[in-house]
Chains A and B, each alone.
Chain A
Amino acid sequence: MTCFPLPRLPEKRRAHGKRVAVGLLFCAASLLSACSGIKTYENSLDKNLHVHTATDSGSWFSRVRAAVDIHRVGVDCAIDYEGTVQLTGSATEIGIQPGRRSYLVFVFNSFSFFSNRSGTITYETLIKPRSNHHYDVVVSYKNDLYHVMIREIPPDRSASRELAPLALNSCRSSSDRK
């Protein structure tokens, strides 16, 4: 049996082909992420939200992913989606605008490979971070129970307080009182 070497493209054309392929992949990825409606939060402000995450689906055949959607809350209490931060590591630093209301939606997305079943559950709260204050957030998911706790820590770290979740309609009722 005789083997013939495959015809090789000239070096320049191969490099061009690679660039086109990478470009197409990038376009496809951009299109897909645009279609999903999820955008990455810019996270360029001073970090005042320190998120500690621990997730455990409890099974080899399922997984749980945690993320937080950040929405800007306008004076009329309308929300404007700013982006999502995936809570992949055990610690995530996020910067949200102090002195202004934000609406945080912690999202737990579970998927079972066995039954091909997926579901999403969320924990929402309004927050108005105070300047120079820090916020410790504990996000956990274990044994199908989830927990989100936010503690406000003053600049001198003298005393912290737990923030109870605030529904979005509490913004409207507080605006109505003004």
Chain B
Amino acid sequence: MKRYHVLIVVLNLFALVGCISHPQTAEEFRKAVPGAFSATVETFEVDRPFGQVASTFQKMGPNCLSKTIKTTSQTTTSYQVIVTTYKPTVLVKGKKAELHVQQHHEQGVINVSKEPEGGYYLLVADAQPVTQTKTRIDLYRPSMGHGVLIQAVRNWATGENVGCPDLTK
């Protein structure tokens, strides 16, 4: 009987893992975020011309986010090392600028679903002009954690306190 129960649990786990599928493209990520438990869409307007927002994305994205980060945490009973590589992509086409951020765990995290090339999508920011001096930002982002990254991207859009996020936080 016990063996039977173990088999059921294992089969259910496999079924669950099969159900979890992560978006494989930025477009799939945009579509998945509104219905996702741990992600949200944030829309706001900034008092900056679209061209300035796009050039800040182009400048800061690669400079700040093309990083491999190692974090170490230790308790009395555990020692954990996580190595994560971030991949930013900035696309500027006509009247739309896109910033995609992907993350790939090199060490310390087990992936249970198929990972897109470059890593799982973490954040997508779309910028589009509203007027000559205003730009609309659609931020598809996690609703838990990664606060520093989200704040940095918001700052790149507003142009205030422009800096790189400490991705170890």
Which A residues lie at the B interface, using CB under 8 A? 108, 110, 115-123, 140-147, 164-165
Which single member of B70, B151, B166 contacts A108 (CB below 8 Å)? B166
Instruction: Report B-chain residues with C-beta under 8 Å of the C-beta of A147.
Output: 162-164
| A115 to B148 alpha-carbon distance, docked (Å) | 17
Given known A-B contacts A145-B151, A145-B152, A145-B161, A118 and B72 have beta carbons under 8 A apart: yes
Give 12 pairs: A residue, B residue, CB < 8 Å, sorted on A. Answer: A110-B168, A116-B73, A117-B71, A119-B71, A121-B67, A121-B167, A122-B67, A141-B166, A144-B148, A144-B169, A145-B166, A164-B59
| A163 nearest CB across to chain B (Å) | 12
Instruction: Report A-chain residues with C-beta under 8 Å of the C-beta of B151.
Output: 143-145
Which single member of A115, A122, A144, A165 contacts B165 (CB below 8 Å)? A144
In this assembly, does B63 line the interface, its C-beta being within 8 Å of a C-beta of chain A? yes
A117, B63: Cβ atoms closer than 8 Å: no
| A116 to B167 alpha-carbon distance, docked (Å) | 17
Give the dominant DSSP class at B's interface: mixed
Interface size counted on chain B using CB atoms at 8 A: 23
B163, A121: Cβ atoms closer than 8 Å: no
In this assembly, does B155 line the interface, its C-beta being within 8 Å of a C-beta of chain A? yes
Which single member of A119, A142, A164 contacts B69 (CB below 8 Å)? A119
A116, B169: Cβ atoms closer than 8 Å: no
> Which chain A residue shows the least CB distance to B82?
A119
| A145 to B169 alpha-carbon distance, docked (Å) | 10
Q: Which of A119, A123, A141, A164 is packed against the most chain B CB atoms within 10 Å?
A: A119
A145, B63: Cβ atoms closer than 8 Å: no
